[in-house]
Each structure stands twice: as structure tokens, then as C-alpha cells.
Amino acid sequence: MQNNKVHIKELPDKLYFKIGEVSEIAALPSYVLRFWENEFSIINPKRTPSGQRLYRKSDIEFVLKIKHLLYEKKFTIKGAQKYLNSEYRKKKRKLSTDVVDKIRSELEQIRDLLE
């Protein structure tokens, strides 16, 4: 069985991708991408005034992650939603901790300068 895994680094260097391009990259039909857009709020392509979807690299990354969870890990849609929400909360918590640590470090440097 051929491995269709594509890494974000390998994507063309451009800001937006049309649904047909994403369909080809992810090896999924366009209707699946449209369905997942409704099921996973994390996939949020911009829309042109004419309604055409424009996906960012981050959207493609999530499409590939969802495909991996559903097709390879055999998650249900609900299971994949819970997993992604949990993963998002963990990353957000770590980001918050990192920001607080950086601010603390900068404040300590300022205090040391004032002493």
C-alpha cells in the first residue's frame, strides 16, 4: 500500500490553496473536505467574494491530521473531535505557561538592572 503522507514542508510556498489542490494533496475527494469543514471547526478556509474556499497551510495540516486519525487510527468522527480538542487545550496551556515564564524572566532581568 502506497504511503500518501505529505509533510507541510513539502507543500508549495504559497499562502492559499484551492479546494482542488487540497483534494489532490490529501488524496481526498472535495466533498469529504467540505463535510469535514462542517464537522471540524478547526478547518476554517477563507472565502473569496464568490464563495470559493481558500485553505491555508495550517488548514491542510489539520486535514492531514484528521485523515490520519480517521483512516489509519480508526477513530470515529466524534473521537477525532475529542482528541483534537484535547490536543488543542494542551497546546494552549503550554503556550500560556511559556508566555508566563518568559514574562517572569524579563521582569527578573529588569529587577536585576534596577538593583
For residues 69 and 84, membership in a common domain is answered with no
Tell me how far apart the 2 most distant CA atoms of the chain are, in Å.
Answer: 66
CA distances from 56 to 12, 23, 45 (A): 11, 13, 7
For residues 82 and 70, membership in a common domain is answered with no
- Residue pair 54/18 in contact (Cβ under 8 Å)? The answer is yes
For residues 2 and 24, membership in a common domain is answered with yes
Whole-model pTM over 0.75: no
User: Which of 57, 74, 91 marks a domain boundary?
Assistant: 74
Residue 30 belongs to domain spanning: 1-74
% of the chain exceeding 70 in pLDDT: 86
Q: How many domains does the chain have?
A: 2
For residues 70 and 80, membership in a common domain is answered with no
pLDDT tens for residues 45-71? 999 999 999 999 999 999 999 999 999
Strand-pairing partners, residue 46, are 54
> Identity (one letter) of the amino acid at 32?
V
- Residue pair 73/87 in contact (Cβ under 8 Å)? The answer is no
- Whether the per-residue pLDDT at 20 is higher than 80: the answer is yes
